[in-house]
Structure 1
Amino acid sequence: MNSGGATPPDMSRPDRRGAFFLLFFSLMAIGAGNTMLIAAVLPPLTREIGLPDWMAGAIFGLSALCWSLTSPFWGGRSNRWGRRPVAALGLAGFGTSMLLLFAMGWLSLNRVMTGTILVFACLALSRCIFGLIGSGTNPAAQAYVADRTSQAERQSQIAFITSGFSVGTVIGPAFAAALVATLGLLSPLLLTAGIAYTMAAMIWFRLPEEREPVTDAKVIEEIPGARGLWRSGSVLPFLIFAVSLSLTTGVLTQVFVFSVMDKLNVAGKEAAQFTGPAFTVGALAVLLAQLVLIPRMKLKNKTLMWGGCLPLLAGALLMVFAADYATLILAQFCIGIGQGLARPGFSSGASLAVSPQLQGNVAGLVISANGMGFIITPFFGLFIYEYVNPHLPFIFCSGLLVCMALFARFVLKDGLGEPDEDEADLI
């Protein structure tokens, strides 16, 4: 056994292809379920049962706090237990969260459960199960890919599996709009729970796991760089950018739903008919960036990062002046292109900045950073939108995106997190 307790990764392309597609579809299930919840279920639900708008954001914020706290834990556990069981457990946790949200939502709509604080607490606790347990799937999936790719191809392969989440966000709103119109507001939650449990079983029984797990905690702790990895000079810049991007996209995503309802004067089931297609356009833009632009342009990670900030900035500014549905759609397209470029940039950059033995650890940190911005989104986004000024959240995002672009362009060192050209010979 080597220093990390891991056997050399199996680089067999046929074996990898099936495994990567299975992870792709698992992340697609999570993406679809989350987008259904954000775009078509929770905002109309909270308004129908009389909760303030900021409480809808706070539900996601509390879950994001749990996500950020536990993602590094699950990334480390995937080193010890293996990628497969952690990924399967995360999907099972996601399914349980959606099932509980369905139950709590049904009780609230039918006035079986009343009281603002009680309803909010039950919805928040149900969602927090996703943050606590569902956070295991993403770092395990990313580490699984890192185990089986060379440095030269890691950027494109990480972009591929994470695009599964984006495919889900394309499918999710379209299904959500149809389900809500025919089967009721809560029906997407029940469907998502069933799909999540199915994918958890498929991961458990079908995902090949050749990597030998490490059972001795001391072995992990003795890996050079394992302690204090988050503050190392090679990883910290990517985490700073990731946290900032999660805050920006969190505000733009959560406030967008309420902005659409207010600008177009729609609510309830009718709102889903507008927000669903808009999110579908945004998700298609993410796919365009990750599956077409990134493989063809072959840009450096830092270029993807600062370049992604530019369409995001355009989307934020469009939201300030948007007065019709067409402009709102265009804003979502710009936001999608920006996310699709920037996220693989910092994800693969952080992965390439550490040794193979630390892939689970760094994946957990990256996934944690992805959720940190959502913790304070209700305060920087929905609270300000509802009680201060509806344009201010988008102006705040615009200023932050300018700072992020300058940080990635001029502060991030050249070559940091970039693959060695000779690494392509490893396969």
Structure 2
Amino acid sequence: MKSAWVLSGAMFSSYLGISILAPVLPPLMRELGLSELQGGLILTGSSIMWVIFSPWWGRRSDLSGRKPVILLGLGGYALGVLSFALVTQAGLDGVIVSATVIWLLLVGARLIVGLLFSAAGPAAQAYIADVSTGQRRVSAMGILAASNGLATILGPALAALVVGFGLAAPIFLSAITPLLGMLLVWRLLPPVPAKLKRGERAPTLRITDPRLLPLLLIGFCVMSGLAVTQFTIGFLFQDRLGLNGVETARLVGLAVMASGVALLFAQMVLIQVFRLTPVTLLRLGIPLMLMVLTLAADFAAMTLALVLMGLAVGMVMPGFRTAITFVVEPHEQGAAAGLANSVPGYSFIFGPPLGTALYGVNAWSPYLLASLFVVAAFAMLTLHTRERAPQPAT
């Protein structure tokens, strides 16, 4: 279990950067003269790279070992975010005056993030599968996933503290934190032998593999519901409450912090204490994801909606990723982890631009579409568990 905590701390260092960026990005796009759609497309470029390379990195970790691939992913994240921060500052300072050039450079920086950071998640998940079995694997996956919850709590708080130095300041901070994660992995994570010998061919799993397809579709629908709304929340707060850029970053940060507390509660209390199985986590979490943001009219109501979302995601994602590990063979864990980690990428290819485009038509339409995705996920889960329910070995 020590390895799970080390990996959780390492992934926390990068997730912290993502959470620091989240409340700042929507007002930042407007300060740079970019549209909501352009902001969404920036994230899409990163997601395309994530989809392409997550499976490849997962297979690569079977050959090269998990630890080197994790280190490369963390370092790549730091490099990409530093590039993003430098371009942002140049745009804010008027060094780059063309909004089109700024947008293209920001897309390029996010492509670097997607290319390299997509290595860390599959390798970390496969490492957990290598060193744990049964219910201990469920608990370890919960600990690994808790890194996201803790980052969601602390990231917006840090963003609120430093945003007074400028909208780009939180992004520079986001480029520093992964370096601490690299140090943690380098010093404290024991290496595990590569699953394949040099010269052996890594197994290739297809999305259409009947063991994986139902679970991947469920994960895709859940993440699509999140993707079409996540980037528009900042716009919703700003427009609904009549806020300026700095006020938006701070209030969204507080709401996202509350969501992170709920997410962390799910992963560190519900999973660890009640020892819930992957299928139970999915059954409880997916219904909670129905988007009550469509009913939110003030800050308190929108914050409550995000709290429910945090609780739901805190159960659904560990359940989804752990279920994947129980339906494949030990030598397939890297490839399976790569596919599982590519699912958010697929969702975020179309989710942010679709959500922002819909938001431009009607502020509530992204959340209604997200509700349809969640209903579809629950329907598929119900059908799948009648045929086969992945459970941890005893």
TM-score by length of 1: 0.89
Deviation at 1:105?
Answer: 0.3
Deviation at 1:403?
Answer: 1.6
Say if 2:129 and 2:137, in contact at 8 Å, map to a contact too. Answer: yes
Deviation at 1:215?
Answer: 4.5
Which of 265, 268, 293 is the matching residue for 1:319?
293
Pairs within 5 Å for 1:87-106 = 87-106=70-89
Deviation at 1:336?
Answer: 0.4
Which of 231, 242, 249 is the matching residue for 1:265?
242
CA distance in 1, matches of 2:4, 2:295: 41
Provide the aligned length of Structure 1 versus Structure 2.
Answer: 394
Query: Quick one: which amino acid aligns to residue 250 of structure 1?
Result: A
Query: Quick one: which amino acid aligns to residue 167 of structure 1?
Result: L
CA distance in 1, matches of 2:194, 2:106: 39
Aligned to 1:21: 5
Which of 282, 291, 314 is the matching residue for 1:305?
282
CA distance in 1, matches of 2:246, 2:80: 22
Say if 2:270 and 2:276, in contact at 8 Å, map to a contact too. Answer: no
Pairs within 5 Å for 1:117-132 = 117-132=100-115
Deviation at 1:152?
Answer: 2.9
Aligned to 1:275: 252
Aligned to 1:146: 129
Query: Quick one: which amino acid aligns to residue 39 of structure 1?
Result: P
Q: Deviations over 1:165-201 (max 9, x none)?
A: 22111110001011102x2211122222122123223
Pairs within 5 Å for 1:331-410 = 331-386=305-360, 388-410=361-383
CA distance in 2, matches of 1:22, 1:228: 28
Query: Quick one: which amino acid aligns to residue 189 of structure 2?
Result: L
Aligned to 1:210: 192
Deviation at 1:363?
Answer: 0.7
- Unpaired segments ≥5 residues, structure 1: 1-15, 221-225, 422-427
CA distance in 2, matches of 1:106, 1:408: 45
CA distance in 2, matches of 1:250, 1:338: 14
Deviation at 1:299?
Answer: 3.2
CA distance in 2, matches of 1:339, 1:264: 26
2:38 aligned with 1:55: yes
2:64 aligned with 1:81: yes
Q: SS in structure 2 opposite 1:412?
A: helix
- Unpaired segments ≥5 residues, structure 2: none
Aligned to 1:418: 391
Query: Quick one: which amino acid aligns to residue 17 of structure 2?
Result: G
Query: Quick one: which amino acid aligns to residue 249 of structure 2?
Result: A
Comparing 143-152 with 201-210, greater Cα deviation is found at 201-210
Query: Quick one: which amino acid aligns to residue 334 of structure 1?
Result: L
Query: Quick one: which amino acid aligns to residue 71 of structure 2?
Result: A
CA RMSD in angstroms comes to: 1.5
Deviation at 1:415?
Answer: 4.5
2:199 aligned with 1:234: no
Query: Quick one: which amino acid aligns to residue 207 of structure 1?
Result: L
Q: Deviations over 1:332-361 (max 9, x none)?
A: 001101101111111000011111111111
Deviation at 1:147?
Answer: 0.5
Comparing 150-159 with 362-371, greater Cα deviation is found at 150-159
Which of 256, 270, 276 is the matching residue for 1:293?
270
CA distance in 2, matches of 1:78, 1:228: 14
Say if 2:205 and 2:336, in contact at 8 Å, map to a contact too. Answer: no
TM-score by length of 2: 0.96
Which of 133, 150, 158 is the matching residue for 2:116?
133
CA distance in 1, matches of 2:204, 2:118: 21
Percent identity for Structure 1 against Structure 2? 30
Q: SS in structure 1 opposite 2:232?
A: helix
